[in-house]
Structure formats: structure tokens, C-alpha cells
Amino acid sequence: MALLMRITDDMKLAMKARDNATLSTLRFLLSAVKNKKIDVQHELSDEETQDVIKTQVKQLKDSIVSFESGSRSDLIASARVEIEILTRYLPEQLSDEALEVLVKDTITQTGAASKDDMGRVMGACVKAAQGKADGARIKEIVARMLPVVVLMVVLGLAGSVHAASIPLMQGGDIAQEGGTVEMGLRLMRVLVLWFGIGAITLIINGAFQYMTNAKRDDERFCAMGKITQGIFITIIVAAVFAVSTVYLQKLY
């Protein structure tokens, strides 16, 4: 059954059952679908209808933020009921854990190497999610995971290169092996420090964004994400740097 037909049938059932909340929500939705059809000059596909629904859900969530600031609990409850009704017609959403796995796999598959690749990763993640996660969730997780996954990949490659070089060394080349290890560790420390500089920059940028958007909750949320991400990366950098320092000291 086409999605639009299903919505129409559900509206008729709500009318018979005197379910006013569902009836008014679906009437408003069908009105929005009709306006969209006029704009695009063709019958809407299920995907296009779902886009209209997603837009309405987003508007309702934005309204809830406004209602919360005005302490309008009655309007908040009403908006949440409407969201619950509308989400019945959207694909089942991915859990945070499943979405994180999808993002991690996409970052690896696209070969992303820095935050400059975020747009490319976002596009690939949105396509892979197939409507099962909204753009805001995907963006938040990509922004949080991209630097971490890239760091893990880089360190993994460095470790693989070193491991591959060990079998080539014979018993008489112990000194050469030690020199290779030392050089690898020193190079890794330099690389990790660059990530540390990026993390500190991210924290400063997030703090500035937070202070300059005191009245915009979405911007403040994004800023807090940057600060959290920067702190998380800084902790990883400090741990890797400390471990590599200990190993360097053991070489002497």
C-alpha cells in the first residue's frame, strides 16, 4: 500500500473512532503533502511524502524547545503526541549504537582523512542510513567520531608498517630494529601532537561558539559537542603520547 493511501485510510479510521489528536495531525499532514505536490507539479513518491513528514517532525521538535522556555507543558504534551503519530509513517530509526557502527564503517570506506572530508562522509552516511536516521543525528555522530576513527586508522597503519618490517630483520640486526622502533615512536609522537593541536583548536572554537550564541540552543548544543569531542581527543593524545614516551625510555 502506498504511504499516502495508508495515511488517508488511517485518517478515516481516526474520524470513525473520534480520535481527534490523530485526525487533526493527519489532516494537517495531508494538507502539507498537497502543498508540496503543487510545488513540485507531480504526485509525491513515498520518499517525498516521508520528507514532508520529517519536516513536520522537525518543526514540532523546534516548537517544543520554544514551549519549554515558556513553561507551556500543555503544548509540549500535544506536540509530542503529534510527533509520535507522525513517526509511525517513517522508517524505524537506527539506535545510537547501530548508527555509530554505520558512521565508523563509512569513514573507513570513504578514506576520510580530516574534518575537511565531513561533507563527503555525511553524504555517504545519509545514503547508507536510508532514512533511518535524521541528518542532525548523523552530523553529531560524524563530527564526534571522524577525528577519532582517523587517528585509529593512522596509528593502525603505523603499527602495521612496523610489524611488517620485523620479520625482515635477522638476529644480527637487533640494533637496527631498536633504531627503527625508536624512529617510529618519535614520528608517532609528532603525529599525535598535531592531533592534540587540532583538539585544542576544536575546544577553543566550541567555547567561542557557545559564548556567542547564548540564545540559540541548537548552536550551543553543537558547541558543546565540539568541546566534548576536543576533550576526548586530547585525552587519547595524552595517553598515546605517555605510552610512547615510556617505551622510548625503555630503549635506553
Q: Between these two residues, 245 and 141, which has the higher pLDDT value?
A: 141
What are the grid coordinates assigned to 84, written together? Answer: 509520535
Q: Between these two residues, 250 and 62, which has the higher pLDDT value?
A: 62
- At residue 243, does pLDDT exceed 80? no
- At residue 101, does pLDDT exceed 70? yes
| Cβ atoms of 252 and 224 closer than 8 Å | no
At 150, the pLDDT band (50, 70, 90 cuts) reads low
Largest Cα separation within the chain, whole Å, is 89
Give the CATH number of domain 3-89.
1.10.1510.10
CB-count burial class (<10 Å; 0-12, 13-18, 19+) for 106: buried
First to last CA, the chain: 73
Compute the distance between CA of residue 41 and CA of residue 55 in angstroms, rounded to an integer.
19
Please tell me which of 30-39, 94-103, 242-251 the model is most confident about, judged by mean pLDDT.
Answer: 30-39
At 10, the pLDDT band (50, 70, 90 cuts) reads very high
Distant-in-sequence, close-in-space partners of 119: CB < 8 Å, separation ≥ 6: none
> What average pLDDT is seen over the chain?
77
pLDDT at 161: 44
For 221-237, what is the mean pLDDT?
77
Domain borders along the chain are 3-89, 169-252
Tens digits of per-residue pLDDT, 16-62? 999 999 999 999 999 999 999 999 989 888 888 988 998 898 899 88
